[in-house]
Amino acid sequence: MKPRKILPIIGIALLLALLAGCDKVVNVDSLMNGSSVTLEKGQQMVLKLASNPTTGSDWEIVSLDPAVLKQVGEVEYKPDSMLIGSGGVDTWTFEAAGSGQMHLQLIYHRIWEKEIPPTDTFDLDIVVK
């Protein structure tokens, strides 16, 4: 094989090797409620939870240490269908900001109903190395 044909192949192989070593996004959903996640500094975590804003309820973050885990952007809502009253999924993106441990907690409730317990909760222990 001629050297000119080998160089692009070597370049592609090196690029693939570098990409394979990159940190992957950690996906979290309701099945991980009550568990823990370990992240590397700079790694992203995407949290998806079922939601239905037509009921008046919404997820609220009540425990987050931005020195350890910071929210990136705003929560995004995607409906399951275009039918009125149908539910969907809220998606948050977080980034591991610094070494440490923290507890991420969200509650699902009607924000104006202060005296009524939340309909649902989500808890996750986070460790950032």
What does the domain layout of the chain look like in residue ranges?
A: 24-128
Q: pLDDT exceeding 70 applies to what percent of the chain? A: 82
- What is the fold, at CATH topology level, of the domain defined by 24-128? Immunoglobulin-like (2.60.40)
Q: Give CA–CA dist 56/59, Å, rounded.
A: 10
Does residue 68 sit in helix, strand or coil?
Answer: coil
pLDDT at 111 over 70: yes
Strand ordering across the sheet containing 88-96: 26-29, 44-51, 88-96, 69-79
What's this model's pTM, rounded to 2 decimal places?
0.80
Give the residue, 2 or 95, on which the prediction is more confident. Answer: 95
Give the residue, 83 or 32, on which the prediction is more confident. Answer: 32
Mean of the per-residue pLDDT values for the chain?
A: 88
